[in-house]
Structures are given as structure tokens and as C-alpha cells.
Amino acid sequence: MHAACKVHAWRIERLIRSSNGVDSLHSIAIFATVVSTGSFSAAADKLGIARSVVSRRISALEAEMGIRLLHRTTRRIALTAAGQRFYERVSTALSDIHDAQTEALAARDEPSGKLVASIPMSFGITHVLPAMPAFRTRYPKIELELRFDDKQANLLKEGVDVALRIADLGQSSLIARRLAKVRHVVVASPSYIARHRAPQDPAELATRECLVYTMKSSPRRWSFHRGDAVEDVEVHGYFEANNSLALREMALAGMGIALVPIFLVALDLQNGHLTRLLEDWQTHELDLCIVYPTRQHVAPAVRAFISFMEGRIGHPPYWDRG
């Protein structure tokens, strides 16, 4: 321990041990309040204690120190010379203690430290990464580790604090907060449509070149509904990938028809680089959720990440507003 720290620790220990059962620090704080308010009654009201307690504490402090700090009359109090010098020193010390407590509480609640977040690959690259400079500016004390993976991480086993997921969560012990609904759309490039004509019904997809996302339980089965009508189609194609960004790139190149999340191609649809097909048919919607292990003792960094992502995405999500 640093020499100065040892001296301070020794002084505090001496103060506590010399109190003979009296809380000296508390008594000193009561004394300072009496002086600042001008009377025992006013100090008692401010501190929420009885006037008699204030009087006993001051008397005990004077007895312990062996000096008189206050002149008392029936109408007013006044500091003795020794009391004046004592008050000048302890008021500064008490102010420093208050400031130290305030700083410690702020440090406890300020988002800081390491935060590990598991993020779906395509969504993370296109929507989370671009937001990270703003997150860094808002929370400079958070050390962020992003783990990009379309597999659902076991948060507790893998040391993950929070995760974004695009899925049907079903039964789960995790705490989940839905950020948005994720629609999937069928898209192709204008060049592909010019060569092969746009399908008018989901059944026509069975004879087209489709780009297949392999992370689904049934990658080649695409399901559609329109009102009460339901159609399941077995699609075929020469290209498969475990990442939707790869399917988007192939669709942009005119290499086939893709079924992809709307957040991935919203700008492509707006600027005409891709065309939406089968618009009057809907596909299964998934939830974009943020999940974390427990509601108890949620770290400030986790709360900060959740709040930031909610504000960033908005309601409805910004990619649906165009």
C-alpha cells in the first residue's frame, strides 16, 4: 500500500477506535449540519432525527475531543474559536467524502467494461456494424466484442452477455425482447426477369433457378400463404450458401431467385437493382429479438446495448419505412 494511503487508513482507524461506541463520523456530520443551519432544531429537521439526538451527539463529540465546539444559549448557538477551526476543516472533508460517494455510485451505474454480443452474420454486417461508431461515442467505456454467427450461441456456456436473434424463439429460459418483425421477400434482378419472366404463382418456382439458404431446417422448401391458401414449393438451383449476403450478391448478378430478409434488400428494391416477386403472397415472418440470460442484476453495459439497438431500429424498423 502507498505510504500516504497507510497514513490515511491509520487516521481513520484511530478515529473509529477512539469513539468509545459513538459514531464519530456521524457526529461530525451532525455538528456540521448544526453550524450550516444555525440551530439544533433546524439540523434535526434537515436530518430527520429528534432534536434531543442532535444535542446528545454534539455533547458526546465535545466530550470525546475534550473541547467545547459551540456556545449555547436559549436563543442561538455560536462557534467557539476551536469550533470555528474544526468546522472549517471538517466541512471540506465532508464535502470530499460526498464527492467520493457520488463518483463511486456513478462508476457503478455507468456502462463500462467488457460486453460480448452474439450477432447474426448478415444482419450484423449490414445493420449493426454501421451503428458501432455511434455506440462507441455514446458509451466510450464499454469494450465491445461482436461475435458474428448465424448459429444460436449458448449464452452461459460461451460467455455471451447479450445476443441478437432472428428466429421463432419458442420455449426458452432466456429473457427476450422483440425489436421487430422480419419479413422475407422473393427477389431477382431485372436482368434475370428479362431472360426468364417473373413467376406469377409460387408453384412456378419449382422450375426456376433458385438460390438456397442452407441454415434452415428445410432449405429447399419455401412456404407461402395468401389468405387461407397455402403453398409449399420444393425449389432447385445450382447455388447454395449459409449466408444471406452471398445470396443477395448472386441475385444482384442475375444468377437466380432468392428468398431473403427484407432488411437485406430494402435499398436494392428502392433503387431498382432488385425486383420483388410474388408480392401478393406472404412468407413466414420471424422475430428479431435481443436476448440475455436473466432479469436480475442486468449489467449497465447490457442495458445500454439493448436501449441503443431499440432506438436505432425504431418502430416500425427503419428498413420498412421506405
Residues 242 and 277 in one domain: yes
Q: Do both 57 and 141 map to the same domain? A: no
Same domain, 140 and 105: no
The C-alpha cell of 4 is what?
A: 500516504
Other Cβ atoms closer than 10 A to 202: 23
Q: What is the pLDDT of residues 168-184, one digit of tens each?
A: 766 555 678 888 899 99
Mean pLDDT, all residues of the chain = 84
- Is the domain of 139 the same as that of 122? yes
* 254 and 190 in a common domain: yes
* 15 and 103 belong to one structural domain: yes
Look at residue 51 and tell me whether its pLDDT is greater than 90: no
Q: Residue 288 corresponds to which amino acid?
A: L
Query: Domain ends where: 87, 109, 131?
Result: 109
300, 180 Cβ separation under 8 angstroms: no
pLDDT of residue 295: 66
Residues 21 and 35 in one domain: yes
CATH of the domain at 96: 1.10.10.10
Residue 153 pLDDT exceeds 50: yes
12-26, 130-144, 155-169: which has the minimum mean pLDDT?
12-26
Higher pLDDT, 152 or 101: 152
Query: Quick check: 231 pLDDT over 50?
Result: yes
User: Which residues on adjacent β-strands are paired with residue 228?
Assistant: none
Among 10-24, 68-82, 85-99, which stretch is predicted with the lowest mean pLDDT?
10-24
Long-range contacts of 268-275 (CB under 8 A, 24+ apart): 268/187, 269/185, 269/187, 270/322, 272/190, 273/189, 274/187, 274/188, 274/189, 275/187, 275/188, 275/189, 275/190, 275/193, 275/198
The last residue of a domain, from among 54, 77, 109: 109
- Per-residue model confidence (pLDDT) at position 24: 77
- In-domain check, residue 179: no
Question: Are the CB atoms for 266 and 180 separated by under 8 Å?
Answer: no
Higher-confidence residue: 296 or 265? 265
User: Does 5 score more than 80 pLDDT?
Assistant: no
Domain boundary (109, 135, 161) is at 109
Residue 320: inside a domain, yes or no?
no
pLDDT digits (tens, 9 = 90+) for 8-43: 444 444 444 444 444 678 888 888 888 888 888 888
* Average pLDDT for 300-311: 91
Q: Whole domain around residue 259: which residue ranges?
A: 184-284
**Mean of the pLDDT values across residues 175-202?**
92
Contact 53, 27 (CB under 8 A): no
Distances (CA, A) of 256 to 194, 264, 270, 309: 12, 16, 19, 33
In the chain, % of residues over pLDDT 90: 44
Looking at the fold, whether 104 and 126 belong to one and the same domain comes out as no
Whether residue 95 sits in one domain with residue 136: no
Same domain, 235 and 280: yes
Q: What is the pLDDT of residue 4?
A: 43
pTM of this structure: 0.64
Q: Which residues contact 164 (CB under 8 A, 6 or more apart)?
A: 117, 118, 119, 120, 123, 124, 128, 179, 288, 289, 290, 291, 309
- Higher-pLDDT residue of 208 and 19 is 208
Instruction: Among 20-29, 100-109, 118-127, name the most confident range.
Output: 118-127
Please check whether residue 146 lies inside any domain of the structure. Answer: yes
Number of folded domains in the chain?
3
Q: What is the CATH number of the domain that holds 199?
A: 3.40.190.10
169 with 302, same domain? yes
Q: What is the pLDDT of residue 304?
A: 92
Over residues 207-227, mean pLDDT: 91
Half-sphere exposure (Cβ direction) of 245: Cα atoms closer than 13 Å: 10
